[in-house]
Chains A and B, each alone.
Chain A
Amino acid sequence: MTWWTLRAVIGGGLLTGLLAYLTATLPDARPWLGPLLAAAAVVSLVYVGVMPAVRYRVHRWETTGEAVYALSGWVVREWRVAPISRIQTVDTKRGPLQQLLRLATVTVTTGSAHGPVRITGLDQDVAARVARDLTEITRRTPGDAT
């Protein structure tokens, strides 16, 4: 949750900051930049205030012997299911922010370009364990992954 908050703060801050800078330096553009700046500020605030909490409440994941399942999103919710037998790769990824917070993202890809199941913001150790387990199960499960 801290991770989402940080990301939201950085993203919203950058946008608002940029607009504020432009508004300050380009007096000619103020009539239309002004409202835009205000809108951006409001949106960013709401985003920072609401998004992380909602996401934290919504996000769920689970792996069983047969499938991987994840629920994500805040405005648009998305459930994704991929059966173990169709898994092709398991990735663990940590961005700079995530390293700071000891978090990791596990991405499970299948044969489809549209079907990766992404589990974001896991504790690093849990992520490593999940990735290891999945790799292990996948290896035991035979079959063409398409």
Chain B
Amino acid sequence: MTSVGTPPAAPVTAEAPMRRLDRRMIWVDAIQMVISLIPTVVALAVFKVEPRPQVIWPAALVAVLGVVTAVNDLFRWLKTRYRVTPDRVEVRTGLLVRSNLSVPRDRIRSVESTANLKQRLAGLRVVTIGTGRHASAGEATIELNAVRRETAEELRRLLLRGADRPDDATVLAELRWRWLLYNLVNIWAFLTAMFVIWSAYWLLNNFGVELDTWVLGLADWEALGPGVTIAVATAAVGLIGVAGLVIGFVTEFWEFRLTRVRTAAGTALRTTNGLLRTREVNRDDNRLRGVHIGEPLFWRWMGAADTAVISTGLAKAGMGAEPASTILPRGPIAEALRVARLVLGGDDRPFEAPLRPHPRRALRRRVIWALNTTGALTVLLLWLDLTVEALPGGLWLAGPGVAPVAVLAAVVAYRALGHTVHGRYLVTRSGLLTRSTDALDRSAVIGWKFRQSLLQRRLNLVTVIATTAAGYGRYKAPDLDLHDGVEFADRATPDMLTPFITRIPPRR
């Protein structure tokens, strides 16, 4: 990959001294360690809770964890040096394994500054610098944990090439509280609730309160019968989960704002959000290659959509954080479309273009697969039924039972299919659980793949895959008619395939 342009002269001296992380992080760790021990100490000393192993062990664990974290952070502080030179960012770190990381500044794609509560209180920020590497390689980001707030601000301005003037920012979208609705119904609700209940159980256990006995004492569950009990339990867990999600959503997307800001090198899309953990991501518009809108199946009736940019060099989904490519929280599809239009700019409106449906044979392929799968499942269950005695007879009936669902899924998947070439963009849509519509800049396509399985050859279908350096790296239009598929690709990138067109033969 060749570099694009040279970075403008930055306000740093050529031989900038190596800098350290902020020493306040060590105090923060020490204080946090003490605080995390308080509940247990209070429980033991003030309430005279008898020191049972259940109480001691978590406390000891917390203490050990705290000490390890503190020592670890101390060494990190001692051993980490970083500096920003006019064309590179260098980080040296590591106690046992020394590592030198040096990244050219024109490879920097995003700068995030996050802070959790304790770091906020101490005026610290964790700066995460995203580079053009793939996240899977484990070298996608440089993390400076932690620096002073002013330093973080300075780094951000520096690394994203010069100061941007705030009056140049155009607001593309701001948080509407209505969006909260779209984020409430979620399978995570139950998992969150489980986690909350589990934590509460152990915390209260420290104080000698038995949560389970308390719940059992609330009502005469025996008399209500299992049906009501299950209903009440589900409702309660669901309620706690929804509350958890509300809190999560509010803290994450507090003051969410998507703006297009002017930078020295052009323009960039910036999102800022977060109450306790502030996050700011800048995405260089020069790297923008398209927009992705995903509509999850079970929320399509309410028109929920996730919006993300397709861009080169943004880190993929990380642990516990939204991927940097996401530019809007889940919200109504109309809003997603509006933002997509603003983000892409220009006169093309790829998401409003009518998509060409795929041939009926694509539906046939899906139904055949649905039936094959249910058939295989039935045979497997039947075989298990016959050989394993412990299983109840008639289990195999579950196989045919799945068939209608599978066929329905096939129809849904077929109806999701679509593709077109619209202006500068090629648009593909597919997906069962998440119907994703992707508009990709045609000039970003760097190759094509055409796939045909045995069945697809029989049905004269082909899956056309456009490969690109941006986003997921490939965007596919499954099951086009063979002739249409080649034509689609040729129309999207007129020069690329022409020499091969006659040689990509319609086999059978």
A32 CA to B4 CA, complexed, in Å: 61
Q: How far is the CA of A7 from the CA of B294 in the complex (A)?
A: 42
Please classify how large the interface on chain B is, using the bins under 10, 10 to 19, 20 to 34, 35 or more: 20 to 34
Contacting pair A115 B1 (CB below 8 A): no
Residues of A in contact with B (beta carbons under 8 Å apart): 31-32, 62, 64, 66-67, 69, 73, 75-83, 86, 88, 110-115, 117, 143-146
Whether A80 contacts B449 in the complex (CB less than 8 A), given A64-B499, A114-B465, comes out as yes
A114 and B467 within 8 A (CB): yes
Number of A-B contacts (CB under 8 A): 99
State A11–B229 Cα separation when bound (angstroms): 55
- 3 smallest A-B Cβ distances: which pairs? A115-B467, A111-B469, A146-B469
Residues of A within 8 A of B465 (CB): 114
- Chain B residues contacting A86 (CB-CB under 8 Å) are 446-447
Q: How far is the CA of A8 from the CA of B354 in the complex (A)?
A: 47
Does B134 have its Cβ within 8 Å of any Cβ on chain A? yes
Q: Does B450 contact A (CB under 8 A)?
A: yes
Smallest beta-carbon distance A17→chain B, Å: 25
Chain B residues proximal to chain A, CB less than 8 Å: 1-2, 4, 134, 312, 387, 444, 446-454, 457, 465, 467-470, 472-474, 495-497, 499-500, 503-504
Q: List 14 A-B contacts (CB under 8 A).
A: A31-B387, A62-B503, A66-B495, A66-B496, A69-B500, A76-B452, A79-B448, A82-B446, A110-B467, A114-B449, A115-B473, A115-B474, A143-B2, A145-B469
In the assembled complex, the Cα of A5 lies from the Cα of B499 at a distance in Å of 33
- CB–CB B451/A115 < 8 A: no
Q: In the complex, are the beta carbons of A117 and B451 less than 8 A apart?
A: no
Contact flag A75-B449 (CB < 8 Å), given A67-B500, A69-B500, A110-B467: no
A1 and B470 CA atoms in complex are apart in Å by 36
Known: A32-B387, A83-B496. Is A78-B449 also a contact (CB below 8 A)? yes
B468 nearest CB neighbor, chain A only: A112
Other 13 A-B pairs with CB < 8 A, given A78-B450, A82-B467, A146-B470: A62-B500, A64-B499, A67-B496, A69-B500, A78-B452, A82-B446, A83-B446, A111-B468, A111-B469, A112-B446, A112-B447, A112-B474, A143-B2
Partner of A81, one of B454, B468, B497: B497
With A83-B447, A88-B1, A112-B468 in contact, do A67 and B457 touch (Cβ < 8 Å)? no
Q: Are A81 and B448 in contact (CB under 8 A)?
A: yes
Give Cα A32 to B468, complex, Å. 46
**What residues of B have a CB within 8 angstroms of the CB of A82 in the complex?**
446-447, 467
Q: Are A77 and B467 in contact (CB under 8 A)?
A: no
Rounded to whole Å, the gap between the CB of A31 and the closest CB of chain B is 7
From A75, A76, A81, A82, name the one whose CB has the most chain B CB atoms within 10 angstroms. A81
A88-B1, A145-B1, A145-B446 known; A67-B499 Cβ under 8 A: yes
**Which residues of the partner chain B approach A62 to less than 8 Å between Cβ atoms?**
500, 503
Once bound together, how far apart are the Cα atoms of A114 and B448, in whole Å? 10
Does B451 contact A78, Cβ atoms closer than 8 Å?
yes
In the complex, are the beta carbons of B474 and A144 less than 8 A apart?
no
Chain A contacts for B468, CB-based, 8 A: 111-112, 115
Distance in angstroms between the alpha carbons of A144 and B444 in the assembled complex: 11
Q: Are B451 and A110 in contact (CB under 8 A)?
A: no
- Which chain A residues lie closer than 8 Å to B454 at the CB level? 75-76
Query: B312, A146: Cβ atoms under 8 Å?
Result: yes
- Cα A89 to Cα B495 with chains together (Å): 22
Q: Is the CB of B134 within 8 A of A113?
A: yes
Measured CA separation A27–B242 after assembly (Å)? 53
